[in-house]
Amino acid sequence: MKKTYEIEVDCANCANLMEDVTRKTAGVKDAAVNFMAQKMVVEFEEGQNEKAVMKEVLKACKKVEPDCEIEL
């Protein structure tokens, strides 16, 4: 299942780093962050709890950019 989230990210480099850490998060099959559109597309692995996975994604992204926000 793929889902699109609105995000707040300050620079293109941070968006790339957030994309990388999201892809490495357990339960995520693939991810893409579009800095210009301020959107993140996450594809979840089969049978994963989307809300639980996104909590971990947000935690990982906050390590890259502490003031980032993801509209869950």
Domain assignment present for residue 34? The answer is yes
29 domain residue, yes or no: yes
Dump pLDDT digits (tens) for 48-71.
Answer: 999 999 999 999 999 999 999 999
Q: What is the pLDDT of residues 24-39, one digit of tens each?
A: 999 999 999 999 999 9
Q: What is the domain count for the chain?
A: 1
In a domain, 41, yes or no: yes
Residue 2 lies in a domain: no
**What is the extent of the structural domain holding 14?**
7-70
Is 30 among the domain residues?
A: yes
CATH number at residue 49: 3.30.70.100
Predicted confidence band at 72 (pLDDT cuts at 50, 70, 90)?
confident
Model pTM score = 0.94
User: What is the DSSP annotation of 6-72?
Assistant: EEE-S-HHHHHHHHHHHHTSTTEEEEEEETTTTEEEEEEPTT--HHHHHHHHHHHHHHH-TT-EE--
